[in-house]
Structure 1
Amino acid sequence: MTDSGSNDNPELLSVAQTVELLGVTRQRIHDLIKNGQIVARKLGRYYYIEAGEIERYNNQPTGKPYQPRSTTSHPNSIDN
């Protein structure tokens, strides 16, 4: 990572570099960009992702939050 002393020029990663860092496919990266889960800049024909976006994405919770099952019986359940 290069440090120019300014946040005006953050380190930009190519889609290929992002694929390597996240261990996913190119299509997955493009889907994440399209869905707004990763913010990218389009320069010419190519997308570039700020290095900080990778860290932010990795720190997001995954899956659904845990919710314990209800212990009450359903009126249509059969008890034998």
Structure 2
Amino acid sequence: MQTYRMTDSSSNDNPELLSVAQTAKLLDVTRQRVHDLIKNGQIVARKLGNYYYIETVEVERYKNQPVGKPYQPRSTTAQQNSIDN
């Protein structure tokens, strides 16, 4: 898999950039799903010409984010029923 490096003289760090197809393969989703994730703001991408490129750190961030609803423990104290009042 070939990765691309952004060449920008104003930036000292050169992030590795992945194409949409490479990102889809890493995430085990379709290219359309990657475009949807970009459109919805779930993955940050850079548009260079007609193509989007995603930094490898952004793919890792997306892969490592928690899924599902946040855990909310149940109260251990008994709740009074409003009918009992």
Band of TM-score, shorter chain: 0.7 to 0.9
TM-score, normalised by the number of residues in structure 2: 0.69
What is aligned with 1:58? Answer: 63
Work out which structure has the larger RCO, using CA pairs closer than 8 Å and 6 or more positions apart in sequence.
Answer: 1
Deviations 1:20-59 (A, max 9, x none): 1000111110111011111100011100000100111111
Amino acid at match of 1:57: Y
TM-score, normalised by the number of residues in structure 1: 0.73
Secondary structure at 2:68's aligned position in 1?
coil
**Residue 39 of structure 2, aligned match among 7, 29, 34:** 34
What is aligned with 2:8? Answer: none
What is aligned with 1:78? Answer: none
Amino acid at match of 1:47: Y
Secondary structure at 1:36's aligned position in 2?
coil
Secondary structure at 1:42's aligned position in 2?
strand
Number of aligned pairs? 73
Q: Cα RMSD (Å) of the superposition?
A: 2.6
Structure 1 unaligned regions, length at least 5: 76-80
